Amino acid sequence: MKAVVIHAAKDLRVEDFTEQRADHVGKAEVRVRMKAGGVCGSDLHYYNHGGFGTVRLREPMVLGHEVSGEVTEIGAEVEGVAVGDLVAISPSRPCSGCETCNRGLPNHCENMRFYGSAMPFPHIQGAFRQEMIVNASQCAVANGLTPGEAAMAEPLAVTLHGVRRAGELLGKRVLVTGCGPIGLLSILSARLAGAEEIVATDLSDFTLDMARRIGADRTINTGTQPDGLSEFAHGKGTFDAMFECTGVAAALNPALDAMRPRGVVVQLGLGGEMPLNMMKVTAKELNLRGSFRFHEEFATGIEAMRKKRIDLSPLITHRVGLEEAERAFQIASDRSSAIKALIEFD
């Protein structure tokens, strides 16, 4: 079968890939013919830079972890998933046996097997391939959605987890810094959780326009309006919660002035080391919370989409075929014209 394989920075190939055990579906497994895959920021790091931080490619690796497909075969003990179902596939595979899993924190599993990751060696191969055998427990039935919408379940789960980390949002005022896919999904997730007012910031008019389109009450281009948040800093501040989705200190620190005392700052953006003004955090008694991956939120997001409580279709701006996969990476790298680029496998 064909797969999207990264060999080095800017060396992406659609080539033959052999699944080690493609001839056998276990009793709790399913075989899936892939339909769609979304290019994620981490995929772009591998494509543009050969890795991120200390994580570097040391062997060819299939990319991709935002995927959906059609079930073509099921194991003897599989329940709740049938042949012909469209499923979103969670790339998160905790071991369920380590101390952290046993403490109820599977997203922090000590032996996590996450698709398309060069952190361990040998690398964990990803999901941009024509067919996969996966655990039935990884599958969320997505019938009624498009394959592209189903593939968006993974980044949506990231932001639903972030919203849970923020706590009660009903009637609250929310700031979202950064309107890439995670920022835009944070807007939708915060609204789903009952946020009363949402303000979004970014440097791109294109992404800010999308933020308004999906429900942000107000947007601010902090490139052309560097003091755009100053009006929200009057008194002791305006916002009850902030979702920081850039991973850049230049976005985080000025926004702290606009936070109310004891407000909650959820850090979703992963950009490496970020200097932080701890005096502002201390003086305002701000709650600074990290948010990493997801678990049960994966299925929650699929159900929210199936029940029409959340619509991700506007975020899918580009689609390309498998043989043109590299073009999807090039498109996704241009934030002036793309939100989510999808690879369609058939």
Domain shared by 147 and 6, yes or no: yes
Domain shared by 133 and 88, yes or no: yes
pLDDT given for residue 319 in this prediction: 97
Specify the amino acid at residue 213: R
Exposed e or buried b for every residue in 63-96, given b needs 16+ CB within 10 A? bbbbbbbbbeebbeebeebeeebbbbbbbbbbee
Number of structural domains found in the chain: 2
The more confident residue out of 23 and 57 is: 57
Domain shared by 122 and 170, yes or no: no
Domain shared by 143 and 188, yes or no: no
pLDDT tens digits, residue range 239-265? 999 999 999 998 999 999 999 999 999
- Torsion over CA: 133, 113, 139, 245 (sign): negative
Domain shared by 178 and 277, yes or no: yes
Residue 305 lies in a domain: no
Domain shared by 177 and 133, yes or no: no
Domain shared by 186 and 248, yes or no: yes
Domain shared by 177 and 41, yes or no: no
Chain center to CA of 65 = 9
Helix (H, G, I), strand (E, B) or coil at 171: coil
pLDDT tens digits, residue range 138-178? 999 999 999 999 999 999 999 999 999 999 999 999 999 99
Domain shared by 168 and 254, yes or no: yes
Residue 88 lies in a domain: yes
pLDDT given for residue 127 in this prediction: 97
Q: Hey, which residues does 70 pair with through a beta bridge?
A: 33, 86
Q: Which domain holds residue 118?
A: 2-152+312-344
Chain center to CA of 120 = 21
pLDDT tens digits, residue range 259-315? 999 999 999 998 778 889 899 999 999 999 999 999 999 999 999 999 999 999 999
- pLDDT value at 237 more than 90: yes
Q: Hey, which residues does 37 pair with through a beta bridge?
A: 67, 343
pLDDT given for residue 43 in this prediction: 95
End-to-end CA distance of the chain: 12
pTM of the full structure: 0.95
pLDDT given for residue 126 in this prediction: 97
pLDDT given for residue 335 in this prediction: 87
